[in-house]
Amino acid sequence: MQKLIPIKRPDGLVALPGFRLKRLEMLNWGTFNGKIERLLPDCRWTLISGGNGTGKSTAADALRTLLVPPAKLSYNDASLDQKMKTTRRDRTKKTYIRGAYSSSSQEDSATAILKYHRSEGEQSILLGVFSNEITGVDVTLAQILWVSNDEYDQYYLVARQDRNIKEHLTQLGTGRDVKRTLQMHGFEVCGSFAAYETKFRSYLCIKGQGALEVFNQVIGVKEVNDLNSFIRRHLLEPSNTPRFINEHLKPHFSQLSGCWSAIERAEAQLLVLRPISERFGKLEDAERTKGGARIFEKVRPILLR
């Protein structure tokens, strides 16, 4: 058997198989305002540390936004503020896009008013580059998001090259020029998350949606009270146990039970018939002995002559 020689990167580290996060970029996302922020995992394990409010959950939610269907996103579970009665726990895609950072109350109203870094129409841009070090293939996922009339909208983008915000997602023009410019920069523009997900799952070799669901749960989890329930819910395929028992186990059990009953009946019959078989064998032996004696009596006179 031929021994595989590990592939090494220029920095001497052994290249790892599969697509891994190479770089995450954020512009105008949450409290990251006015400049491009970058995380550089470089396809390796990365620890993000910092005090409350330093942006750890904001960065994690940026990555979730790139990969997880909007209907399954729950930003608050990734925040340490989820159990505190503060307005900061009410994280939504709109508050991230506009950059909610504080709230103030009015004298004539008990409703708090959120303060934002950005006005409606200003864009937030998220970008993640995933790299396969063995094959040398890069895939870039990106979203351009904005709020208009208190509703958010976005472009979903996929590129099969390493792209970045500064060079490829700024100065895009307006109107129809935006989509044309994005395509010139190597992006495929998708009209919905479903189309975007189908495309990036194909490029990143993610076979099933279950992987994204597990990722969504794991990246936002703060504590696991029941590990068995967590594994059954998120890591195992769902199953209808009663239906499986009724449709598969019970019929097979009935067949096996019938076979075993037939075997037991046959064994009981053999046990009852065993004395007859034994006596019949003795009778046959006696008949053979008797026959031999008769022959001997006939030939005896001849032998005595």
Segment 23-52 shows an average pLDDT of 92
Segment 229-237 shows an average pLDDT of 71
pLDDT higher for 138 or 82? 138
| pLDDT for residue 238 is more than 80 | no
Q: pLDDT (tens digit, 9 = 90+) per residue, 196-215?
A: 999 999 999 998 877 888 78
Model pLDDT, residue 287: 83
Q: Which amino acid is at 10?
A: P
d(C-alpha 199, C-alpha 207), whole Å: 11
| pLDDT for residue 83 is more than 60 | no
Model pLDDT, residue 200: 96
Model pLDDT, residue 6: 76
Segment 229-245 shows an average pLDDT of 75
| 305 — pLDDT class (breaks 50, 70, 90) | low
Q: Are 98 and 117 in contact (CB under 8 A)?
A: yes
| 86 — pLDDT class (breaks 50, 70, 90) | very low
| pLDDT for residue 85 is more than 60 | no
Q: Which residue's structure tokens are 């697509």?
A: 19
| 106 — pLDDT class (breaks 50, 70, 90) | low
Q: Which amino acid is at 156?
A: Y
Model pLDDT, residue 202: 95
| pLDDT for residue 82 is more than 50 | no
Tell me what percent of the residues of the chain surpass a pLDDT of 70.
86
d(C-alpha 142, C-alpha 189), whole Å: 10
Segment 155-183 shows an average pLDDT of 92
| 84 — pLDDT class (breaks 50, 70, 90) | very low
Q: pLDDT (tens digit, 9 = 90+) per residue, 240-293?
A: 778 888 888 888 888 888 899 999 999 998 888 888 888 888 888 888 888 777
Segment 68-95 shows an average pLDDT of 69
d(C-alpha 30, C-alpha 27), whole Å: 9
Whole-number average pLDDT of the chain: 84
Model pLDDT, residue 21: 96
